[in-house]
Amino acid sequence: MASWGEASQSRLIGKRITRLSGKDKVTGKAKYTYDINRPGLLYARILRSEVAHAVVLELDLSRAEELPGVHAVLPLTEAGRKLRYQGQEIAAVAAETDDIAKDALRLIYVDLEEQPFVVTEADAMAEGAPQIRDDWQGNRSNPGINEQGDVDAGFSEAAVTVEATYHTPVQTHVCLETHGHVAEWRGEDFLTVWASTQAVFGVRNDLSRRFELPANQVRVITEHMGGGFGSKFGPGVEGHTAAQLAKITKRPVKLMLTRKAEHLVAGNRPSMTQHVKAGATKDGRLIAYDMKGYGTGGISSGAGFQAPYVYHVENQRTERFNVATNAGNQRAMRAPGHPQGAFAMDSLMDELAEKLGMNPLEFRRINDSNEVRQAQYTLGAQEIGWHRRNNVPGSGTGIKKRGMGVGSGQWGGGGGRGTQARVTINPDGTVEAVTGTQDIGTGIRTAIAIIVAEEFGLEPTEIAVQIGDSGPGLPSGGSGGSQTTASVAPVIKTAAAAAKQKLFETVAPLLQTTVDDLRIGKGTIYVASDRTQTITWKQTTGLLGMESITESGNWDQELRQGGVAGTQFAEVEVDTQTGHVKVLKIVAVQDCGLAINRLTTESQINGGVIMGLGQTLLEERIMDPLTGRMLNANLEDYKVPGTYEIPEIKSIVFDTHRKVTGVGEPPCIPTLGAIANAVYNAIGVRIRELPITPDKVLTALAQKKA
Q: Which residues contact 507 (CB under 8 A, 6 or more apart)?
A: 518, 525, 540, 543, 544
Residues 563 and 450: beta-carbon distance below 8 Å: no
Count CB neighbours of 190 within 10 A: 14
Query: How far is 388 from 403, CA to CA, in rounded Å?
Result: 9
Number of chain positions touching another protein (CB under 8 A):
88
Which H or E element spans position 110?
Answer: strand 109-114
Exactly one of 130, 394, 471, 472 binds another protein (CB under 8 A); that residue is 130
Would you count residue 28 as binding another protein (CB under 8 A)? yes
Indicate which of ligand FES, another protein, none lies near residue 96 (CB less than 5 to 8 Å, by partner kind). Answer: none
**CA dihedral over 368, 371, 372, 376, signed as positive or negative:** positive
- Residue number with the smallest Cβ distance to ligand FES: 176
Residues 541 and 426: beta-carbon distance below 8 Å: yes
Q: How buried is residue 195: exposed, middle or buried, by Cβ count under 10 Å (0-12/13-18/19+)?
A: buried
The identity of residue 137, as a single letter, is Q
Residues 29-58 that bind another protein (CB under 8 A): 29-32, 34-35, 37, 43, 47, 50-54, 57
Q: Closest distance between another protein and the C-beta of residue 581, in Å?
A: 17
Nearer to another protein, 50 or 150 (CB): 50
Query: How far is 457 from 499, CA to CA, in rounded Å?
Result: 13
Indicate which of ligand FES, another protein, none lies near residue 354 (CB less than 5 to 8 Å, by partner kind). Answer: none
Cα atoms in the 13 Å half-sphere on the side-chain side of 361? 26
Nearer to another protein, 320 or 338 (CB): 338
Query: How far is 351 from 415, CA to CA, in rounded Å?
Result: 36
Would you count residue 114 as binding another protein (CB under 8 A)? yes
Query: How far is 91 from 73, CA to CA, in rounded Å?
Result: 7
Would you count residue 123 as binding another protein (CB under 8 A)? yes
Nearer to another protein, 128 or 398 (CB): 128
Exactly one of 65, 149, 227, 575 binds another protein (CB under 8 A); that residue is 227
Query: How far is 70 from 602, CA to CA, in rounded Å?
Result: 48
Would you count residue 79 as binding another protein (CB under 8 A)? no
Nearer to another protein, 164 or 599 (CB): 599
Which H or E element spans position 650?
Answer: strand 648-654
Window 397-436: contact mask with another protein (x via CB under 8 A): ----------------------------------------
How far from each other are the two terminal CA atoms of the chain, in whole angstroms?
Answer: 67
Would you count residue 532 as binding another protein (CB under 8 A)? no
Q: Closest distance between another protein and the C-beta of residue 292, in Å?
A: 25
Q: Closest distance between ligand FES and the C-beta of residue 597, in Å?
A: 16
Nearer to ligand FES, 227 or 542 (CB): 227
Q: Which residues contact 267 (CB under 8 A, 6 or more apart)?
A: 172, 173, 230, 231, 328, 329, 330, 331, 332, 333
Would you count residue 273 as binding another protein (CB under 8 A)? no
Nearer to ligand FES, 335 or 565 (CB): 335
**Contact positions vs ligand FES (CB under 6 A):** 176, 227, 441
Would you count residue 215 as binding another protein (CB under 8 A)? no
Nearer to another protein, 515 or 599 (CB): 599
Query: How far is 588 from 606, CA to CA, in rounded Å?
Result: 8
Residues 358-397 that bind another protein (CB under 8 A): none
Query: How far is 210 from 204, CA to CA, in rounded Å?
Result: 10
Window 575-604: contact mask with another protein (x via CB under 8 A): ------------------------xx-xxx
Residues 602-661 that bind another protein (CB under 8 A): 602-604, 606-611, 625-628, 634-636, 640-644, 646, 648-649
Indicate which of another protein, ligand FES, none lies near residue 152 (CB less than 5 to 8 Å, by partner kind). Answer: none
Q: Closest distance between another protein and the C-beta of residue 300, in Å?
A: 20
Nearer to another protein, 355 or 639 (CB): 639
Q: How buried is residue 633: exposed, middle or buried, by Cβ count under 10 Å (0-12/13-18/19+)?
A: buried
